[in-house]
Amino acid sequence: MAKKVLVMCTGNSCRSIIAEALVNAFLDGIQAKSCGTNPKGEVNQNAKKVLQEFGIWDERYYSKHLDEVINEDFDLVVTVCDSAKENCPVFPKPVNKIHVGFSDPDGKDYSEFVKTYHEIKDILLPKVKEELS
């Protein structure tokens, strides 16, 4: 049975969506979802573009509030921005939590989204794998 990871940030439009897609694409036996503590309600177009460019975009990815997933069972919760870490709620069931922060590319050049993609792939994926092994 696959392990389940929840990736949280504030807006759930860039970093957490990219991380969700990367975990689902590259970590066998691990399924990811993402959410925000104050979601924008849409995926940033540059985040979508970078995921399309690397061939891992899926139409199932969308910006959603924590309330939508809080009652699901997760093996790990990952916060990728400081605000989400500070506002991370208590989950109904005990769950391991880690924080790996990344700069927000929102409002910046497309090259920043590519940089964020690579940082998440190189830094976050090994940590998630290690936490769940």
Angle between helices 15-26 and 110-119 (to 10 degrees): 50
What digits encode the pLDDT tens for the residues 87-111?
A: 766 677 889 999 999 999 999 999 9
CA separation, residue 5 to residues 96, 128, 132 (Å): 10, 8, 9
Classify domain 3-131 by CATH architecture. 3-Layer(aba) Sandwich (3.40)
| pLDDT value of position 1 | 83
| pLDDT value of position 94 | 84
Question: Which is more confidently placed, 1 or 8?
Answer: 8
List the domain boundaries for the chain: 3-131
| pLDDT value of position 99 | 92
99: enclosing H helix or E strand = strand 96-99
What digits encode the pLDDT tens for the residues 19-59?
A: 999 999 999 999 999 999 999 999 999 999 999 999 999 99
List the catalytic residues.
9, 81, 88
What digits encode the pLDDT tens for the residues 76-87?
A: 999 998 776 677
Q: Work out the number of other CB atoms within 10 angstroms of the CB of residue 31.
A: 15
pTM: 0.95
